[in-house]
Amino acid sequence: MSHQQGLRFELAPTVEQAALMGRHCGLSRVVENFCLETVQKKKAQQEAEKTYAVPEDQLTKVPWSAPALEKEWRAAHPERYPWFAEGKLSSRVPKEACRVRAAGLKNYFDSRSGKRKGVRLGWPKWRKRKQGSRFRYDADRARPLDARTVRLPAIGNVTSREDMSWLTGRMATGQARILGATVREQAGRWWISFQIEVDREEINNRRQADPDAPACGIDLGLKTFAVIKRADGTVEEIHAPKPLRAAQRALLRANRKLARSKEDSKNWAKARKRVAQLHMRVADRRRDFLHKTTTRLTRTKSAIAVETLNVKGMVKNRRLARALSDAGFAEFVHQLDYKAGWYGSRIWKADRWFPSSKTCGNCGRINRALVLADRTWVCPGCGVLHDRDHNAAGNLLDAMLTQDT
């Protein structure tokens, strides 16, 4: 069975290759902004024509689709952007930039009409240089030639700092194919992310969770990242590294130095790079912790009960927003979800309003008076002393097992 997933590798380009990749990032940004400008102008013109009672079939057509946007770009770039042809840049980058912009417009309308689930999206915004440098190739235009070399159209063969044999070996046997690739610059380092379709059957079978493995309930929290209660009654606590909290002093100093530097000076560029490096280190530490934890849990548990948290609503509390964002609860549950499908485990999500913390695990009475500051509490009904997090994990496990019977 084929799965879609992403793989990211760090690149080691030469100075000339890095400069070319930077130009392609600029090209992608220009094309995306051109597409948005074209749509907005033609949409405004169409609205004006409607006020003059212009017949429907004579109204200005708005290029909503990727092919229509690409047609507009091909017609406009010889005069507006002559440097595109002169610079020998890849024609695949504008094509993908048009597709990305068209997808953003579609998501906006689908979100407004209710076809798209999740947070309601706003109208697409202009892309700015400070928002990150990236560009994309379609299909397998960008592909690994061997375990240490990537072929990028119009740029050349770029060395990879990481071994890609996992991907190249499966491509050679037909188990994997590349659907697209995104090149991105972060803190002065270059990365390529391959979106691939891969047959994971052999990998998943080899790493399947034991059917007789214990089930568990997981309560997520800020003090203790995860309290895991197994069906045999044992409890495990997992503490997160809290990378953003650990980096606060360094970030404070780096941001202060950046603010005091003259914009566009050499010291300003160095300070800006330092801030980016610190943020990348924070993200890398968090990502590493979440991947290792979720992989271990889904490969050693037959069933996992978790909460359904309203993270978007929780971060509105300014006292908790930073700590909640640092924890990465939403990403943790997301990773559990798809990895459980890989390794044969099962995820059960409690209802958002399920009172896991307030319910007595002994008699089932709900303590309505319990507040967030109460880390332990005594049940008014049976008098049992509960640790808040341990009790919640046990209640989640019991609710899952009860529903299964």
Active site residue 236: no
Candidates 96, 185, 389, 398; catalytic one: 389
337 annotated active-site: no
CA nearest to 282, candidates 319, 249, 318: 249
Tokens of 204: 């998943």
From 72, 96, 185, 219, active-site residue: 219
For every residue of 252-282, DSSP letters joined together read HHHHHHHHHSPTTSHHHHHHHHHHHHHHHHH
User: Any idea what DSSP says for residue 222?
Assistant: S
Residues 6+ apart with CB under 8 A from 322: 244, 245
Catalytically annotated residue among 185, 307, 326, 398: 307
389 catalytic per annotation: yes
SS3 55: coil
DSSP state of 359: B
Helix axes 329-343, 266-300, angle to 10 degrees: 40
| Amino acid, res. 309 | L
Does residue 185 contact residue 29 with C-beta atoms inside 8 Å? no
Strand partners, 189: 186
Q: What angle do CA 48, 54, 55 make, to 5 degrees?
A: 135
8 A C-beta contact, residue 148 and residue 164:
yes
* Polymer length in residues for the chain: 405
Q: How far apart are CA 56 and CA 12, in angstroms?
A: 54
Asked if residue 350 lies in contact with residue 396, where contact means CB atoms within 8 angstroms, the answer is yes
Distance (Å, rounded) from C-alpha 104 to C-alpha 125? 10
Which residues are marked as active site? 219, 307, 389
